[in-house]
Chain A
Amino acid sequence: MKGTWLAALRGYVWVKLIGGDPEKFLNAATAHKITLWNIAFSPEGRLTFGVTVPDFFRLRPLLKQNGSKTRILSRHGVPFRMARLSRRKTFAAGMVGFAAALFILSTLVWTVKVEGGSAIPDDKIRQAALAEGIYEYQWSFRLPDSKTMSERLARHLPDAAWIGVEKKGTSIIITVIDSTSAEERALESPRDLVAKTDAVVTRIIAENGRPKVERNDRVRKGDVLISGILGGEERSKAVVSQGKVMGLVWHEYRIVSPLSKKVKALPAPPPSGAISSSAAGRCKYRAIGVNPIRCPKPVPRSGGCTSENGSCLSEGCMNSKWRFRKTRKS
């Protein structure tokens, strides 16, 4: 009764006792420490009980003493089930085969993943792995442990800083970390930093070299802003001058446009059919039963920048503008 699953594992039987004295039998069984359970009387007055298979065989001498017999009513548990299975060979073979197949397939390497986002192309890593025997559908027991695998892979891929090989179930994850090389800088010779245009310096920061101008200095195109020569006359050293100079830069524009020009344009549609205007600006109108409409007067043309139809008509119009301009040389 206690631990029914244990009884099921060892196998147990329901037994009917025929003949003899049931009380004596019970006492003898308890005296021999044979566990019986669910002891009850069947409707025809026979004692029935459950007993495990090993205990059932131990009951035999007691039964002989008591002069009684047993009849097995039903069999339960794993041993009987296995016996039944042995009769169904194909089914049993299928069960065993399934377990075997599961085991065998789980020892295969099913996927090889490459991770780490390396600049080395995946194909190259995979080729190196293939050379070391890490490929799909490989027996995982043929692979060495991950430490040796990563060491061997690193020999194939000298560009990588670190290679990790991790086995996770049926997949192998290769992590490749690139070695970071220093940024390549262009070679530079000693130089001065020179103004590109005329400007008024607003800010000067010399990272390397000696500043030659100050704030609010007016510089011309070609003036040295930051000198590349350090030191005095006796001892001097030419360096690559470097820095940041900001200044106000202005641009002068001289735009010339003819006073009169010919423009091809479509005639404007006559408003409500009453007015037809000519290109010369003269206005003809015929009023038919409507109030006369005033013709627009031409705009008086004086000096300066007068704009008409979106174009500047005067000559020598100065359009000066202050603008910030950043000069950077590095």
Chain B
Amino acid sequence: MMRVSRKLRKWTATILDLPQDVVLDLPRVTMIGGLQLTVENHRGVVHFSPDSLRLAMDGGEMEVTGRDLVIRNIGAEEVFVEGQILGVQLHPKGRPPG
């Protein structure tokens, strides 16, 4: 059932030319240089240390690596990270979405 609805949503998005993050509840990452990073649509913090921040997301995890990371602000939908950001990796779990 989930698979069908997801397929339907993706099809609608391509047909109607809608941005995928709106329809599919995917995380949206905005990074300003290596200084600031905003992640919208996350599903909670999995791990946090000054060197890495792992965020849960639909169908996987996202890892932000860097140095002296500070979560400036955290909400139910949004995380705003500051510090020396060195990398952003996506770790899809199991099947990739879609």
Task: Tell me if A65 counts as interface (CB < 8 A to partner B).
Answer: no
Chain B residues within 8 Å of A38, by CB: 70-72
Give Cα A41 to B83, complex, Å.
12
Report yes or no: B73 in contact with A40, Cβ–Cβ below 8 A.
Answer: no
Chain A residues within 8 Å of B70, by CB: 38-40
Task: Tell me if A22 counts as interface (CB < 8 A to partner B).
Answer: yes
Provide the A1-42 mask, 1 if CB < 8 A to any CB of B, else 0: 110000000000000000000110011011101011111110
- Residue among A2, A27, A33, A39 making CB contact with B71, cutoff 8 Å: A39
Report yes or no: A41 in contact with B72, Cβ–Cβ below 8 A.
Answer: no
Question: Which A-chain residue is minimally distant from B50 (CB atoms)?
Answer: A41
- Residue among B48, B50, B72 making CB contact with A23, cutoff 8 Å: B48
Total number of B residues with any Cβ neighbor in A under 8 Å: 17
Give Cα A30 to B78, complex, Å.
10
Chain A residues within 8 Å of B74, by CB: 26, 29-30, 35-37, 39
Chain B residues within 8 Å of A47, by CB: 48
Question: Which A-chain residue is minimally distant from B73 (CB atoms)?
Answer: A1
Report yes or no: A26 in contact with B72, Cβ–Cβ below 8 A.
Answer: no
Chain A residues within 8 Å of B44, by CB: 26-27, 30-31
Give Cα A33 to B69, complex, Å.
22
Report yes or no: A26 in contact with B76, Cβ–Cβ below 8 A.
Answer: no
Contact residues of B: prevailing secondary structure: strand
Chain B residues within 8 Å of A2, by CB: 73
Chain A residues within 8 Å of B47, by CB: 23
Give Cα A26 to B73, complex, Å.
11
B32: min CB distance to chain A, Å: 16
Q: A residues 45-80 with Cβ under 8 Å of B?
A: 47, 49
Chain B residues within 8 Å of A41, by CB: 48-50
Task: Tell me if B35 counts as interface (CB < 8 A to partner A).
Answer: no
Give Cα A37 to B73, complex, Å.
5
- Residue among B45, B69, B80 making CB contact with A27, cutoff 8 Å: B45
Task: Tell me if B98 counts as interface (CB < 8 A to partner A).
Answer: no
Report yes or no: B75 in contact with A35, Cβ–Cβ below 8 A.
Answer: yes
Give Cα A227 to B70, complex, Å.
113
Contact residues of A: prevailing secondary structure: mixed
Known: A30-B76, A33-B76. A40 touches B46 (CB 8 A): no
Give Cα A23 to B53, complex, Å.
10
Chain A residues within 8 Å of B80, by CB: 1
Known: A23-B45, A27-B44, A27-B45. A40 touches B76 (CB 8 A): no
Q: A residues 85-116 with Cβ under 8 Å of B?
A: none
Give Cα A41 to B48, complex, Å.
9
Give Cα A2 to B38, complex, Å.
14
Chain B residues within 8 Å of A40, by CB: 50, 68-71
| From A23, A31, A36, A38, residue with most partner B Cβ within 10 Å | A23
Report yes or no: B48 in contact with A30, Cβ–Cβ below 8 A.
Answer: no
Provide the A174-186 mask, 1 if CB < 8 A to any CB of B, else 0: 0000000000000
Report yes or no: A31 in contact with B49, Cβ–Cβ below 8 A.
Answer: no
Report yes or no: B75 in contact with A37, Cβ–Cβ below 8 A.
Answer: no
Chain B residues within 8 Å of A49, by CB: 71
Give Cα A2 to B75, complex, Å.
11
Report yes or no: B71 in contact with A23, Cβ–Cβ below 8 A.
Answer: no
Report yes or no: B73 in contact with A35, Cβ–Cβ below 8 A.
Answer: yes
B23: min CB distance to chain A, Å: 24
Q: What are the 3 tightest A-B residue pairs by CB atom distance, in nearest-first order? A: A39-B71, A40-B70, A1-B73
A selection of 7 A-B contacts at a CB cut-off of 8 Å is A35-B73, A35-B74, A39-B74, A40-B68, A41-B48, A41-B50, A49-B71
